[in-house]
Amino acid sequence: MSMKEIKELAKKFTKEQLENCILQTVSGEKNDCEIDGDTLEVVNKLAKAQTVRELMEQGMSEMEAIRELARRIRQVQGG
């Protein structure tokens, strides 16, 4: 999974659309975001894009939002 994919998803879909795609994927349906693959991988990618989109809607630039996502991931991983 690349940051490029996450950035593209965050630009293309609203946070509500991304949430809906997550719910569709978890329930075993084909998601409207047209992302295929392992359920866990798809949900992970969509959730990251949703976080970036939400941060951008709060006023962060795209790069600031991506840096914040990376910071949060490191924090959860104990780094």
Tens of pLDDT, residues 12-69: 999 999 999 999 999 999 999 999 999 999 999 999 999 999 999 999 999 999 999 9
* Domain boundaries, position 70: 3-76
CA atoms within 13 A on the CB side of 50: 16
pTM above 0.85, yes or no: yes
Domain count within the chain: 1
* Whether the predicted pLDDT of 10 surpasses 80: yes
What 3-state class would DSSP assign to 35?
Answer: coil
Say how far apart CA 2 and CA 27 lie, in whole Å: 24
pLDDT value at residue 1: 59
Say how far apart CA 61 and CA 78 lie, in whole Å: 26
Say how far apart CA 57 and CA 75 lie, in whole Å: 22
pLDDT value at residue 2: 84
For residues 46 and 1, the model is more confident at 46
